[in-house]
Chains A and B, each alone.
Chain A
Amino acid sequence: MLEFEIIGFASSMLQRLAVEEIEKCNAFTADYGLILTHNDVIELVETRSDSLKSNGRIEFGGGAVGKIIKEFCDSPYIYKENYAETIHGLTEIFYFYKNETLDLLSDDDLIKYMKDCFDGSCQGSLELLAEKELAKMATNLRYGYPMDYTEEQEEASDDEWDDSQW
Chain B
Amino acid sequence: MSGMIVNGEVKHKSSYSNISSESYLNTILQEAYFSGAMNAPDIENLQLQCLQLVARKSEDFSGGNSSSIRVELAESIMKSILYAIGMYLKALPNEISAIEKLKTEAVSYMFSEGRRIIDHKLELTRKIYKMVKSNRLVTKNYTYNATLVEGIKSFFDNYNPEYFSHEVPASIDYQLCNPIEGLSGVEFMFKYLQQLYLENEFCRSFEACHIRNLLFGYDEGYEDLLINIFEHVLTAALGCVLLDRTPGDLTITAEEVKYLYMSLQEGEATLELRLYEAAEKMLQVLDIPAMPMRNYIKASMPKIIAYITNAVRTNTLEKTVVVAVNPDLKPKIRFESGTKMADEDYRGLVAELMACRFTSDRLALIRERISTFADLEDILMDAELEAMEVAAVLAGLEAVELAALIKKHPYNSEVEVDISEAEEKLRGCLRGYMDAINRDKRKEIIEINQQLVIEGCY
**Do A and B come together as binding partners?**
yes
Residues of A in contact with B (beta carbons under 8 Å apart): 1-4, 6-7, 9-10, 13, 52, 56-64, 67, 95, 98-99, 103, 106-108
Distance A108 CA – B64 CA, assembled complex (angstroms): 11
Q: Are B30 and A10 in contact, with the CB atoms below 8 A?
A: no
- Give the residues in chain B near A6, CB-CB below 8 Å: 51, 54, 71, 74-75, 78
Q: How distant is A144 from chain B, measured CB to nearest CB, in Å?
A: 19
Given contacts A2-B33, A4-B50, A98-B66, A61 and B55 within 8 Å (CB-CB): yes
Nearest residue in B to A60 (C-beta to C-beta)?
B55
Q: Are A9 and B51 in contact, with the CB atoms below 8 A?
A: yes
B273 interface residue (CB < 8 Å to A): no
B283 interface residue (CB < 8 Å to A): no
Shortest 5 CB-CB distances between A and B: which pairs?
A106-B65, A60-B55, A59-B68, A57-B68, A58-B74
Q: Are A60 and B54 in contact, with the CB atoms below 8 A?
A: yes
Distance A4 CA – B78 CA, assembled complex (angstroms): 8
Q: Are A52 and B68 in contact, with the CB atoms below 8 A?
A: yes
Contact of B68 among A2, A3, A13, A64 (CB under 8 A): A64
Contact of B43 among A1, A64, A98, A106 (CB under 8 A): A1
Q: Are A2 and B43 in contact, with the CB atoms below 8 A?
A: yes
- Residue-wise, chain B 284-304 has the 8 Å CB interface mask toward A (1 for contact) of 000000000000000000000
B40 interface residue (CB < 8 Å to A): yes
Distance A98 CA – B26 CA, assembled complex (angstroms): 33
A–B Cβ pairs within 8 angstroms, 25 of them = A1-B40, A2-B26, A2-B33, A4-B50, A4-B78, A6-B78, A10-B51, A52-B68, A57-B68, A57-B69, A57-B70, A58-B68, A58-B69, A58-B70, A59-B67, A60-B55, A61-B55, A61-B67, A64-B68, A95-B68, A98-B68, A103-B69, A103-B70, A107-B68, A108-B65
Q: How distant is B35 from chain A, measured CB to nearest CB, in Å?
A: 13
Distance A107 CA – B64 CA, assembled complex (angstroms): 9
- Give the residues in chain B near A59, CB-CB below 8 Å: 67-68
Nearest residue in B to A3 (C-beta to C-beta)?
B26
Q: Are A4 and B47 in contact, with the CB atoms below 8 A?
A: yes
Q: How distant is B123 from chain A, measured CB to nearest CB, in Å?
A: 28
Q: How distant is B68 from chain A, measured CB to nearest CB, in Å?
A: 4
Distance A59 CA – B62 CA, assembled complex (angstroms): 12
B249 interface residue (CB < 8 Å to A): no
Contact of B71 among A7, A63, A64 (CB under 8 A): A7
B143 interface residue (CB < 8 Å to A): no
- Give the residues in chain A near B51, CB-CB below 8 Å: 6, 9-10, 13, 60
User: Do most interface residues of chain B lie in helix, strand or loop, or is the interface mixed?
Assistant: helix
Q: Are B74 and A103 in contact, with the CB atoms below 8 A?
A: no
Q: Are A9 and B55 in contact, with the CB atoms below 8 A?
A: no
Q: Are A60 and B67 in contact, with the CB atoms below 8 A?
A: yes
Distance A59 CA – B71 CA, assembled complex (angstroms): 9
B59 interface residue (CB < 8 Å to A): yes
Distance A98 CA – B62 CA, assembled complex (angstroms): 13
Nearest residue in A to B38 (C-beta to C-beta)?
A2
Q: Are A106 and B66 in contact, with the CB atoms below 8 A?
A: yes
B82 interface residue (CB < 8 Å to A): yes
Q: Are A103 and B67 in contact, with the CB atoms below 8 A?
A: no
Q: How distant is A109 from chain B, measured CB to nearest CB, in Å?
A: 8
Nearest residue in B to A62 (C-beta to C-beta)?
B67
- Residue-wise, chain B 46-84 has the 8 Å CB interface mask toward A (1 for contact) of 011011001100110010011111111011001000100
Q: How distant is B163 from chain A, measured CB to nearest CB, in Å?
A: 14
Distance A59 CA – B26 CA, assembled complex (angstroms): 25
Distance A52 CA – B43 CA, assembled complex (angstroms): 27
Most buried by A among B30, B66, B69, B72: B66
Q: How distant is A10 from chain B, measured CB to nearest CB, in Å?
A: 6
Q: How distant is A16 from chain B, measured CB to nearest CB, in Å?
A: 13
Instruction: Please give 19 more A-B residue pairs, beta carbons under 8 A apart, in addition to A59-B67, A61-B67, A107-B66.
Output: A4-B26, A4-B47, A6-B75, A6-B78, A9-B47, A13-B51, A58-B71, A59-B68, A60-B55, A60-B58, A60-B59, A61-B59, A63-B67, A98-B68, A103-B66, A103-B69, A103-B70, A106-B65, A108-B65
Distance A99 CA – B69 CA, assembled complex (angstroms): 9
- Give the residues in chain A near B47, CB-CB below 8 Å: 4, 9
Distance A59 CA – B59 CA, assembled complex (angstroms): 10
Q: How distant is B80 from chain A, measured CB to nearest CB, in Å?
A: 12
- Give the residues in chain B near A60, CB-CB below 8 Å: 51, 54-55, 58-59, 67
Contact of A4 among B58, B65, B72, B82 (CB under 8 A): B82
